[in-house]
Amino acid sequence: MKYLNLSALLIVTILLLTSCSNEAKKTVDPATIHTNGEIDAELTSPPYVPKPVGDRSAKKLIVKMEVLEKEGEMTDGVRYMYWTFGGTVPGSFIRTRVGDEVEFHLQNHPDNKLPHNIDLHAVTGDGGGATSSFVAPGHEKVFSFKTLNPGLFVYHCATAPVGMHIANGMYGLILVEPEGGLPPVDKEYYIMQGDFYTKGKNGDRGLQPFDMQKAIDEKADYVVFNGKVGSLVGDNAITANVGETVRLFVGNGGPNLVSSFHTIGEIFDRVHVEGGEMINENVQTTLIPAGGAAIVEFKVDVPGTFILVDHSIFRAFNKGALGMLKVEGKENKKIYSGEIRDGIYLPEGPGVQTMPSDNKVAASDIPAKSFDEQMKFGKQAYMNTCFACHQAEGQGIPGAFPPLANSDYLNADVNRAIGIVLHGKSGEITVNGVKYNSVMTKQHLSPSEVADVLTYIYNSWGNSKKVVTTEMVKKVKDAK
Amino acid sequence: MNKQIFRLLLLFLMIQPLLNAQTKDMVIIKGGQYIPLYGKKSTLVKVKDFEMDIYPVSNKDYKNFVKQYPKWQKSKAIKLFADEMYLTNWKNDVQIKDTELDNSPVTYVSWYAAKDYCECQNKRLPTIDEWEYVAMADETTKDARSKPTFNKQILSWYETPKTNENSIGSHPKNAWGVYDLHGLVWEWTLDFNAVLISGESRKDVDNDSNLFCGSASLNATDLMNYAAFMRYAFRGSLKANYSMKNLGFRCVKDIIKKDQ
């Protein structure tokens, strides 16, 4: 009996010890973390993120965010009335740590038409804050919450009609770093996908109102990173240097579509799956649900332009979900042999990278009324369709694409030029004494767009200043 | 003699607003039944005959009002009844700023001020039901809620900035002969807070299955619901002392039958 008692005691003690050592691993209950002092949160516009929290202690963090309803450009010539948190789509990035007490000030600008609120997925509480933050134009609401769970979380407006507020761009990301902060990296960026629904078709010019029926049907006209087509390409591309580690905070505001986030030419070394604690390694494409996020980390080993896409791929090349990470530095032929060309992805044909409307007839319902408008619309069409091959100043690419600037071939025959835009051209031609032998695909442009783009070309870069009319284009079109 | 003229003048000045407030700027709305979008009882609601101002109250109208009732002047209004934004687009107690138009709708007025204005004209603010009943009409039809074009117009107004700076009456009048219910400014209603929206619309759904909201949108193919819902959401965000840039008002009047 005595022995039995002793051994029972021993077992209990061992159990207790084991469980104690397990307990010791666990961090403290975040709800009980004391805050120490008060700071104003640094808020940043995409693609930038605030400084890492590092090992700072938990604080009272004051976030002041302003709701602005404002007009912006979805893509060249297409305007849209965005509803924003902090003036951008996605909204300002909020960076905090576990145990912070966030005092949130939601300010609704007096010029705004509508009441708004905010639901932060990082909030444990009624409506994610929405219930306490419903605010009329010209007013401010304040509420506070304790950050209990580390991770990358979406915030969005939850005022009725919820879908419409989200579809107009009212979403963003809030990062809650763990105790001690995330491991340091060299570069961090903020990217958020969203789908947009416009009354006109993709590419139709003018101020495009939101289309509720298309949103209900989930037929997006634009799927974009950071609120508009081209927000992360060309001069807006995010950058890194060879050998650096890159961390992308990637969100998906929806409202409808799930993102297949992928970077062409990179493998994600680590992915915080769904923005949480689970780490997946060596990932090609990570799924980001609408209203969800992921933290993606990788080291860039070679220089080049790495294309960020939603690998639901027609969205990338036809609806705008395309960005660029430009990496500079020394080549490493062992890793990659070279021959990377900046921004061109040939299998899809020329020009598709920055252009949302390749495979469709972009019949615009707003024809140019004057020469000035022809030049304006023509330039938009040029930048969308012709720019990638013929370049910004019409200089072309030596050995590949003939120049349009000072072009004897172009100026010699306007009907031939119209025909080439309408029907494409292959085979050898001589331009300014230099032979070219390449393929120009048929361009899917409406007659008025062909007239505008050719007028723009003829009246730029030392060409013959010819004006091309829609009638001239129709004549050539009907002749074939 | 001078005194007499003065008295006559005074008398004239006193009755002038009453003369102006005659029903010449109002139109008779024949009552009826309709199913409102939203409310505790999503059933048929009866609306009695009444008269409605054909225009929202303009800056000019309101200038006359504050001259006569100084307690509603910018510097004198009691803060409990009008927040600090009250008439913020006015230069002083009796003049609007140079950037504003006499003929634009008055905005930055609180519910208390709007209610008192109407009462001083021997009128009152419309109820939500009255307002919504008249606002169902487009230019030709008294209930145009099923017309997609009508709904799109309303929705696109909600997305157009600075419409409060336009003049009253610049849109076509609706089938009742009333102007600007849509397209200019939001308008106060007598019982604006009768339909309570918590601000968390998804929760509203849980509370009452009759309530309609964005997250229940799949049940609703009618786009009108969205436009109207935004009005209810807007009203739900208000307090009676708020004075806002995009919020004005107009008045209505009960019809008292002569032979009664």
Q: What is the ipTM of this complex?
A: 0.74
- Calculate what percentage of chain A has a pLDDT beyond 70: 88
Question: How far, rounded to the nearest angstrom, does the alpha carbon of residue A38 sit from its chain's CA centroid?
Answer: 33
**pLDDT mean across residues, chain A:** 88
Number of domains comprising chain B: 1
Closest CA to A114 of A198, A210, A30, A38: A210
Q: For residue A479, what pLDDT is reported? A: 82
Closest CA to A390 of A322, A456, A332: A456
DSSP helix/strand/coil, B60: helix
Residue A11 has pLDDT above 70, yes or no: no
Rounded to an integer, the average pLDDT of B170-190 is: 94
Residue A413 has pLDDT above 80, yes or no: yes
Residue B5 has pLDDT above 90, yes or no: no
Question: How far, rounded to the nearest angstrom, does the alpha carbon of residue B188 sit from its chain's CA centroid?
Answer: 4
Cβ <8 Å between A117 and B200: yes
Residue A299 has pLDDT above 80, yes or no: yes
Confidence of residue A24 (pLDDT cuts 50, 70, 90): very low
Adjacent-strand bridge partners of A264:
A307
Best residue in A83, A159, A214, A216 to probe B by mutation, most B CBs within 10 Å? A159
Residue B6 has pLDDT above 70, yes or no: no
Q: Is residue B115 part of a domain?
A: yes
Adjacent-strand bridge partners of A210:
A198
Cβ <8 Å between A136 and B215: no
**Helices and strands (DSSP H and E) totals, chain B:** 7, 7
Q: Is residue B9 part of a domain?
A: no
Confidence of residue A9 (pLDDT cuts 50, 70, 90): low
Segment A146-160, tens digit of pLDDT? 999 999 999 999 988
Which strand (E) or helix (H) includes residue A251?
strand A245-254
Chain B's closest residue to A198, CA to CA, is B156
Q: Is residue B200 part of a domain?
A: no
Rounded to an integer, the average pLDDT of A171-175 is: 98
Nearest to A161 among B161, B199, B217 (CB): B217
Confidence of residue B162 (pLDDT cuts 50, 70, 90): confident
Q: Is residue B241 part of a domain?
A: yes
The size of the A-B interface in CB pairs under 8 A is 114
Cβ <8 Å between A81 and B199: no
What is the C-alpha to C-alpha distance for residues A332 and A340, in angstroms, rounded to an integer? 12
More confident residue, B126 or B257: B126
Query: What is the nearest CA distance from A207 to chain B, expressed in angstroms?
Result: 10
Q: Where are the beta strands (DSSP E) in A122-166?
A: 139-146, 151-156
Cβ <8 Å between A158 and B156: no
Q: Is residue B12 part of a domain?
A: no
Cβ <8 Å between B242 and A139: yes
Residues of chain B positioned with their CB less than 8 A from the CB of A132: 199
Other beta carbons within 10 Å of A280 = 13
Q: Is residue B225 part of a domain?
A: yes
Q: Which of A116-130, A345-359, A414-428 has the highest mean pLDDT?
A: A116-130
Is residue B82 within 8 A of residue B241, CB to CB? The reply is yes
* CATH number for the domain harbouring residue B83: 3.90.1580.10
Q: For residue A362, what pLDDT is reported? A: 45
Query: Is the backbone peptide bond immediately before A255 cis, with ω within 30 degrees of 0?
Result: yes
Assess A126–B contact: CB distance below 8 Å, yes or no: yes
Of A171-185, A203-217, A259-273, A335-349, which range is least confident?
A335-349
Rounded to an integer, the average pLDDT of B187-213 is: 58
Q: For residue A427, what pLDDT is reported? A: 81
Other beta carbons within 10 Å of B139 = 11
Cβ <8 Å between B242 and A213: no
Confidence of residue B15 (pLDDT cuts 50, 70, 90): low
Domain membership of residue B59 as a residue range: 26-195+216-254
Rounded to an integer, the average pLDDT of A59-69 is: 97
Rounded to an integer, the average pLDDT of A111-137 is: 93
**Residues 83-122 in A contacting B (C-alpha not used; CB under 8 Å):** 110-115, 117, 119
Residue A2 has pLDDT above 60, yes or no: no
Residues of chain A positioned with their CB less than 8 A from the CB of B214: 160-165
Calculate ∠ Cα A148-A152-A155, nearest 5°. Answer: 90
Of A270-279, B39-48, B161-170, which range is least confident?
B39-48
Nearest to A130 among B199, B213, B226 (CB): B199
Query: What is the nearest CA distance from B22 to chain A, expressed in angstroms?
Result: 32
Query: What is the nearest CA distance from B233 to chain A, expressed in angstroms?
Result: 7
Adjacent-strand bridge partners of A154:
A173
Nearest to A137 among B152, B232, B244 (CB): B244
Cβ <8 Å between A136 and B238: yes
Q: For residue A368, what pLDDT is reported? A: 80
Query: What is the nearest CA distance from B85 to chain A, expressed in angstroms?
Result: 9
Cβ <8 Å between B218 and A126: no
* Chain B residues within 8 Å of chain A (Cβ atoms): 85, 152, 155-156, 158-162, 186, 197-204, 213-215, 217-218, 223, 226, 229-230, 232-234, 236-239, 242, 244-246
Residues of chain A positioned with their CB less than 8 A from the CB of B213: 160-162
Residue B54 has pLDDT above 60, yes or no: yes
Q: Is residue B15 part of a domain?
A: no
Nearest to B242 among A136, A160, A199 (CB): A136
Confidence of residue A324 (pLDDT cuts 50, 70, 90): very high
Confidence of residue A350 (pLDDT cuts 50, 70, 90): very low
Is residue B249 within 8 A of residue B188, CB to CB? The reply is yes
Cβ <8 Å between B199 and A213: no
Rounded to an integer, the average pLDDT of A374-400 is: 83
Is residue B128 within 8 A of residue B192, CB to CB? The reply is yes
Confidence of residue B20 (pLDDT cuts 50, 70, 90): very low
pTM comes to 0.73
Q: For residue A445, what pLDDT is reported? A: 83
Q: Is residue B234 part of a domain?
A: yes
Assess A158–B contact: CB distance below 8 Å, yes or no: yes
Phi-psi domain of A37 (left: phi exceeds 0; alpha: psi -120 through 50; beta: other)? left
Nearest to B158 among A111, A114, A126 (CB): A114
Residues of chain B positioned with their CB less than 8 A from the CB of A134: 197-200, 236-237
Best residue in B159, B166, B224 to probe A by mutation, most A CBs within 10 Å? B159
Confidence of residue A428 (pLDDT cuts 50, 70, 90): confident
Question: How far, rounded to the nearest angstrom, does the alpha carbon of residue B121 sit from its chain's CA centroid?
Answer: 15
Residue A444 has pLDDT above 80, yes or no: no
Q: For residue A355, what pLDDT is reported? A: 42
Rounded to an integer, the average pLDDT of B22-38 is: 82
